[in-house]
Amino acid sequence: MIGSANLSAWFPEGASTHAMGVDEPFYGIYVAAVCALILTVGLAVIFLWTFLRKKNDPDQMPSTGSNKILLGVWVLGAVLMAGFAFQSGIPGFVDQNVAPYGAYQVGVTTHESGWDFTYPNGHVADTLRVQVGQPVQLTMTSADVSQNLSIPALRVQQAILPGRTTEAWFEATSEGAFPIFTGSFSAMTHDSLSTALMALSEADFAAWLATVEDIFAGRTMAEVGELLYTSQGCAVCHTLDGNQLVGPSFKNVYGFEFLTTDGQTVLADDAYIKESILTPNVSVIDGFQPVMTPYAGVLDDREIEAITAFLMTQSERGDTGGHSEADPANESGTAPEGDTDQEEK
């Protein structure tokens, strides 16, 4: 494709503000590299013809030494080309790594079965929808193996690693559907995971948001609670399998009694769950530190009810309504084996 007049064949048509910062350096370096290739090959052909042994040439030709001027020009040309590549590429590199203040936040989680895009309102989708003209920042992690986010039309590419958070941002400049790829292959699908980015007008994006704004629509209370458990970051400190992290596991919390740091015995019922979400450091389960962020003003009563319903599904006593008879193991305020305390999120 060196001689191709259609240089745009390298990239799809640009659809983001990053396009200029990527395309111009690429094409500039491309043209400079083609010129250098022509010069190098041309000189090689000339030298081959000039210094080809002729029929009447003597057996040995006298050495004339190196031409220091030509050597210096050659080295200077290589240095200038490297400097041009750096100078033309660094502005776009810096721009892509510094998101504008107030960019719209979308969480991205990849796994071998697909993509999860989590919006600020808690809605989770497998397709990324954004508003044209609005900067969008993606905060990404992988649930299993290393992946790679690639949106060619928007000139976005970023590694996604398990156990780490990476970021990328962009601002779409035109409406349309643009493919999203990953550089890794899925063991489940034996194919490169793919989805799409839908760039919508301001009115269309607002209309779409309105349809997904209500996280309760089409979900049970427990399903909404599970969604909040993920979107509000509860999983960072609280597991569902009995293992303890910064906070207690949510397995077998609801309906059980626990001993607090001030020596009181509390029952993890609806009222205590709500208190632990809104003012979590007032009554802390023994063995843990009062380090949880209060969620007063963040979650409303209905959302707290949903989280409580989700905790009920994680407890052997979830159908007791939080009113259970104390068993011998709990009379001293100690949770039964495999149980942990409560502290939400």
The CATH number of the domain holding residue 203 is 2.60.40.420
Q: Do residues 42 and 131 both lie within one domain? A: no
Rounded to an integer, what distance in angstroms lies between the CA atom of residue 150 and that of residue 178? 11
Supply the pLDDT for residue 339: 41
3-state secondary structure the chain: CCCCCCHHHHCCCCCECHHHHHHHHHHHHHHHHHHHHHHHHHHHHHHHHHCCCCCCCCCCCCCCCCCHHHHHHHHHHHHHHHHHHHHHHHHHHHHHHCCCCCCEEEEEEEECCEEEEECCCCCEECCEEEECCCCEEEEEEECCCCEEEEEHHHCEEEEECECCCEEEEECECCCEEEEEEEEEECCCCCCEEEEEEEEECHHHHHHHHHHHCCCCCCCCHHHHHHHHHHHCCHHHCECCCCCECCCCCCCCCCCCEEEECCCCEEECCHHHHHHHHHCCCCCCECCCCCCCCCCCCCCCHHHHHHHHHHHHHCCCCCCCCCCCCCCHHHCCCCCCCCCCCCCCC
Has residue 41 got a pLDDT over 90? yes
In a domain, 255, yes or no: yes
Highest mean pLDDT of the ranges 114-123, 153-162, 335-344 = 153-162
Q: Do residues 43 and 117 both lie within one domain? A: no
Considering only CA atoms, which of 8, 34, 3 is closest in space to residue 22? Answer: 8
Residue 197's pLDDT band (cuts 50, 70, 90): very high
Total domain count, the chain: 3
Q: What is the mean pLDDT of residues 229-239?
A: 82
Tell me which residue range forms the domain holding 90: 7-97
Supply the pLDDT for residue 247: 86
Q: Do residues 231 and 313 both lie within one domain? A: yes
Has residue 4 got a pLDDT over 60? no
What's the pLDDT tens digit per position in 139-150? 998 887 888 888
Indicate the range of 79-88, 104-113, 116-125, 333-342 predicted with least confidence. 333-342
Report field, pTM of the whole predicted structure over 0.75: no
Considering only CA atoms, which of 316, 317, 318 is closest in space to residue 308? Answer: 318
What's the pLDDT tens digit per position in 279-310? 888 888 888 888 888 888 888 899 999 999 99
Q: Please say which residue of 154, 181, 212 terminates a domain.
A: 212
What single-letter amino acid sits at 231? Answer: S
Rounded to an integer, what distance in angstroms lies between the CA atom of residue 184 and that of residue 148? 7
Q: Do residues 313 and 242 both lie within one domain? A: yes
Q: Please say which residue of 143, 178, 212 terminates a domain.
A: 212
Considering only CA atoms, which of 140, 104, 103, 102 is closest in space to residue 121? Answer: 104
In a domain, 164, yes or no: yes
The neighbour count for residue 301, using CB atoms within 10 Å, is 9
Q: Do residues 225 and 201 both lie within one domain? A: no
In a domain, 186, yes or no: yes
Higher pLDDT, 125 or 189: 125
Q: Do residues 140 and 167 both lie within one domain? A: yes
Indicate the range of 113-127, 196-210, 259-273, 329-343 predicted with least confidence. 329-343
Supply the pLDDT for residue 235: 82
| CATH number of the domain to which 299 belongs | 1.10.760.10
78: left (phi over 0), alpha (psi -120 to 50) or beta: alpha
Indicate the range of 59-63, 158-162, 235-239 predicted with least confidence. 59-63
Residue 132's pLDDT band (cuts 50, 70, 90): very high
In a domain, 307, yes or no: yes
What's the whole-number average pLDDT of the chain? 81
Q: Please say which residue of 185, 212, 239 terminates a domain.
A: 212
In a domain, 46, yes or no: yes
Residue 8's pLDDT band (cuts 50, 70, 90): low
Supply the pLDDT for residue 170: 93
Q: Do residues 198 and 153 both lie within one domain? A: yes
The neighbour count for residue 160, using CB atoms within 10 Å, is 25
Q: Do residues 13 and 43 both lie within one domain? A: yes
In a domain, 1, yes or no: no
198-236 burial, b if ≥16 CB within 10 A, otherwise e? bbbeeeebeebbeebeebeeeeebbbbbbbbbbbbebee
Has residue 344 got a pLDDT over 70? no
| CATH number of the domain to which 74 belongs | 1.10.287
Supply the pLDDT for residue 307: 92
In a domain, 336, yes or no: no
Burial class (CB in 10 A: 0-12, 13-18, 19+), 192: middle
Q: Do residues 228 and 258 both lie within one domain? A: yes
Q: Do residues 234 and 180 both lie within one domain? A: no
Q: Do residues 311 and 271 both lie within one domain? A: yes
Q: What is the mean pLDDT of residues 104-123?
A: 85
Q: Do residues 54 and 147 both lie within one domain? A: no
Has residue 269 got a pLDDT over 70? yes
In a domain, 197, yes or no: yes
